[in-house]
Amino acid sequence: QANRHTIILMQTSQNRATRTFMDYESISQAMDGICGLYERKLKELNPAIREITYDISDLYNFIDGLADMSALVYDHSIQAYLPYDRQWIKQKTLQHLKKLASQR
C-alpha cells in the first residue's frame, strides 16, 4: 500500500502551457509534495513572514484555485495507474496532515 507510485497532474492557470506533473514513490510523499508546493507559494507571496502557518481550508482553497489537479496512482494488482480527482487529493492531504500532527 505504501509504495504506490503516484503522479500528480496539475495545471495552475487556464493557460495550457502551465500543465505540469510531479511524480512520487508513494501517496504519502505526493501529499507531502502538494503541501510543499503550497508552502512555497505562501513564502513567495509573503517574503517578509518567517514562520507561515495555514489550516486545511487554506490548503483546500489553493487546490481548488488551480485550473486542474488530479492524481494517477499505480495499482500493482492490475499493473496500471488509476485516476483520482481533486476531492480525493483533498481527502488524502487531510489524512496525511492528521498523521503528521499525531506523530509530533
Write down the mean pLDDT value for the chain.
94
- Write out the CATH class of domain 6-97: alpha beta
Give me the helix-helix angle, 56-65 and 86-102, nearest 10°. Answer: 150
pLDDT at residue 52, rounded to an integer = 86
pLDDT at residue 1, rounded to an integer = 52
Evaluate if pTM is beyond 0.85: yes
Give the model confidence (pLDDT) of 77-102 as tens digits.
Answer: 999 999 999 999 999 999 999 998 89
Residue 18 and residue 59: Cα distance in Å, rounded? Answer: 20
